[in-house]
Amino acid sequence: MYYPLSLFIGLRYTRSKRNNRFVSFITLFSTAGITIGVLALITVLSVMNGFEQDLKNRILGAVPHVIVTPKADVNDVDTSLLALTNDPLVAAVTPFLQADAMVQSKSQIQGAQLQGIDPSSYPQWDVIRQNMIIGDISLLKPGKYNIIIGRSMATSLNAKLGDKIRLISTKGSVFTPMGRVPSQRKFTVVGIYTVGSDVEATQVLVNIIDAGKLVRLSASAPMQHRVFVNDPFSVNALASREYFINSFDSLDWQTARGELFQAVRMEKNMIGLLLFLIITVAVFNILSSLVMLVTEKETDVAIMKTLGMNRPTIVQIFVIQGAWTGVLGAIAGGLLGILLAANLNEFMSLIGLNLLAQASGGARLLPVLFDWSQIAAIIFGAIALSLLATLYPAFRAANVKPAEALRYE
């Protein structure tokens, strides 16, 4: 099979024995460094992606993505709601009422976020609906004053199915000769849900009609609607629609939860940057080993130039020789990183380490999510850095002067 001369010699140099064993050690160390760097970067970022997706599912799946209220000057609210429902970014729109409240049981009292919903239009695929421990959202019938609470709240209030708990809201307060009296009503616990986040410690669901009566909502007050978005991170794109701007006042999840996800994303970026420095150090080792190799091979280069080999071919020889180290390390690191990340929980179990169990008090698996475009960028980025590191030694080799190199041969 025909090989270009530069490829043949470059690959030959990768397999040839070196007079200087230190050069061989640095080359091996460079390959190992790139392998470890790529492996660590893929593994850690895959876990961070998994955590981000897990937070997205457990928190953003339970909290309202967007709450909209028709503007006072909108004449045809139904048309605006129809446009919102038919928007490709939107998964569902349902009547909604949200207010701050206090929840009181026989032994405890705590703050809560009251959510009034319409069970008939509430999506079947909603996270809370899919994670009911007991009961069902359909039990929230108007006039029955039933309530669904989270598992954490049920534990805190020492409340169970069928218990009566009191909802207190200052939004429906009335003024009496005795002072301001908040609106309150007893509700019956008909369901308990769990989503594995702090949402279940604060969020309670009741029928929207019962919620309206509790907060003494005026019949002329504009109706709020909860908007379920296909991708919660696209709420800004939805809010920029012209019809949306003209028709609705809105409150999205970023107001209450945005800082958490920004912190997770910044942490992922910083960890990625720090791990990428491992690859950078290994790349500098490639540069060092190639510089020493060029010094060692000066006589060979001088002979090749004497025989008529041009500068571009000599540059290609040493670029190929150095790039081989980067390609080998990047591909090996990529494959090992994918393999380790895919079997990370089994590996952690094998060595008897469960980080999430220590943090949460129960056995949980590390979430892992592969972003293939991210993995490809890591591998090709490592290869590109390796190629850049070869340029200086390669051009230095091309500048060898045969007369000086062969003077004492």
Tell me the two tokens of residue 395.
């051009």
Stated pTM of the model: 0.73
Shared domain for 287 and 189, answered yes or no, is: no
State how far the Cα of 215 lies from the Cα of 184, in Å rounded to an integer. Answer: 9
73 and 220 both lie in a single domain:
yes
| Single-letter amino acid, residue 363 | A
Same domain, yes or no: 187 and 131: yes
- pLDDT for the residue 288: 76
Residues 323 and 362 in one domain: yes
Q: Select from 202, 222, 252 the last residue of a domain.
A: 252
Do 31 and 73 have their domain in common? no
- Three-class SS of residue 247? helix
- In tens, the pLDDT along 269-278 reads 888 888 888 7
Tens-place pLDDT, residues 70-85: 887 777 788 888 888 8
Residue 361 confidence (pLDDT) above 70: no
Spatial CA neighbour of 117 closest among 137, 102, 132, 101: 137
Q: Are residues 85 and 43 in the same domain?
A: no
Given 252, 275, 296, the domain boundary residue is 252
Same domain, 17 and 35: yes
Q: Is the pLDDT of residue 307 over 70?
A: no
Residues 289 and 30 sit within 8 Å (Cβ to Cβ): yes
Which CA distances in Å does 331 have to 85, 107, 136, 336, 383?
A: 47, 61, 50, 8, 9
pLDDT (tens digit per residue) in 82-95: 888 898 999 889 99
Please, are residues 105 and 165 in contact by the beta-carbon 8 Å criterion?
yes
Domain around 218: 64-252
SS3 265: helix
Q: Does 190 share its domain with 313?
A: no
| Dihedral angle over CA of 16, 18, 19, 25, nearest 10 | -170
Q: Do 208 and 76 fall into the same domain?
A: yes
Domain match, 168 and 219 both:
yes
Q: Work out the percent of the chain whose per-residue pLDDT is above 90.
A: 20
Residues 149 and 298 in one domain: no
Residue with tokens 């970022």: 45
Q: Is the pLDDT of residue 394 over 70?
A: yes
Q: Note the pLDDT of residue 326.
A: 83
Residue 162: CB atoms within 10 Å: 8
For the four alpha carbons of 199, 203, 207 and 208, in that order, the dihedral sign comes to negative
Q: How many domains does the chain have?
A: 2
User: Percentage helix, strand, coil, to 5, in the chain?
Assistant: 55, 20, 25
- Residues near 57 by Cβ (< 8 Å), separated by ≥ 6? 127
Domain boundary among 219, 252, 285: 252
- DSSP conformation letters of 290-346: HHHHHHHTHHHHHHHHHTT--HHHHHHHHHHHHHHHHHHHHHHHHHHHHHHHHTHHH
User: Within 10 Å of residue 338's Cβ, how many Cβ atoms?
Assistant: 17
Same domain? 228 vs 83: yes
The one-letter amino acid code at 124 reads Q
Distance from C-alpha of 297 to C-alpha of 287, rounded to nearest angstrom: 15
Looking at the DSSP bridge assignments, the partners of residue 187 are 165
